[in-house]
Structure 1
Amino acid sequence: MRPQLCIFDFDNTILKFNISAQQIANTKAKINAYLRQYNIPQDNLKPLIPKIIFLAKSVTENKELQKKIISDCFSIIDEMEAYPDGGIKVHHDNLRLLNDLHTRGIKLGIISNNGREGVLNALRIAKLDLNMFTFLITRTDVSLPKPFPEPYLKIQHYLNTHDCYLFTDDIFDVLPLLSLEKSYNWSIRKYIVLQMDIKNHSYEWETGKRMDFEMLLRAKS
């Protein structure tokens, strides 16, 4: 059996940035104000990260200017994520599972659309040791974050040599992998999309899927 690697999204998967609707609206207002200098009309910016990239590409073919617009907008989002007005919600069962997997020698990695500063701050609050993760890739570390394939291309060595399991709250995180699997000899053993239980403020794999996951890890390839 090949070594195993569990790839986790971050926000809404490992823990949660509690950001109010008002703070999000204020951040979008700042981004729209910035974009006006490029004659980009007011936009609802949904979904936030892909829409910023789309707007930057629509306003110019100059790659350097596109990169600057995207980077400047992401810096505005960084401010929000570094100081979420509702703090960081830590899901302790999730943290215990991560520690259990790490103790068992299973590699862990994070691919997040959050900025690096916000992720590192949240890890400190959750008291998760960064060294337990084989890699941490944030939107700060790539030119085009998810749903673009660049973050996954950065870890293609592991995708070629490990049986990989992807945990995310967003089905769109899976789409670039599905398209890339056709071109690369990757082994993605399971896509596990977490559905948040709003009523109980918990996740399926926190309340009933953990045993299924452990059975999955024990299964022969």
Structure 2
Amino acid sequence: MRVAIAGAGAVGRSIAGELLENGHEVLLIDKNPSSISVERVPQAEWLLADACEITSLDEAALQRCDVVIAATGDDKVNLVVSLLAKTEYGVPRVVSRVNNPKNEWLFNEAWGVDVAVSTPRLMSALVEEAVSVGDLVRLLRFSQGDANLVELTLPPDAALVGTRVGDVRWPTDTSLVTIIRGHRVVTPAKDDVLEAGDELLFVAATSREEQLEDLLSVPRGEEAAQAVSRADGEPDEPRD
């Protein structure tokens, strides 16, 4: 995979290093000569140019890139790079860094952004994820489809503890992506049984997050029957 990164500061170089270790081709673009530090990421290609200018992006052959990452410290620059990458060069995947949380609403498909990464929001989410049990935590917002990557650690008294994944009537527009269980990463199958302390990761529509949290956090008791499909062969009640 070929990846172009606009912004060769500490963030851009760190991303480049990770991608290179995973076997990808990386091009770093920056207009500041002091940021061109080839010795820091020698395996990458480097281009001294303004990523907001069409001539620079032509020189970078952006049309050959599978992914463009706008990683500068200026939100205006990141939006322009994202828009040009998507509309002028048809880059399949555009990821953009959000520096100021107040600007996050702009980073959507109208500006060519497929995935917006807000560092303050991500740090806040990771703190919540580390300390929260029974609360749904939004880890990442996807610009397309109004969907989010969300996480919930299953509390010990949750009604779903001991329930097969295939027996749970998940809300519509939600998908259980993986289960983190101790040091293991479990790809969920219908016969897997949910355990207390499981860290469940979902891709879910924003409108379904509250419903999903209610389902996962309901304590053991009569409400448990509402979360699990009928075992006696009767048809399930229709979902919203």
TM superposition score category, shorter chain reference? 0.3 to 0.5
The structure with the larger Rg is: 2
Q: Which has the higher contact order (CA 8 A, sep 6+)?
A: 1
TM-score, scaled to structure 2 = 0.36
TM-score, scaled to structure 1 = 0.38
More helix by share: 1
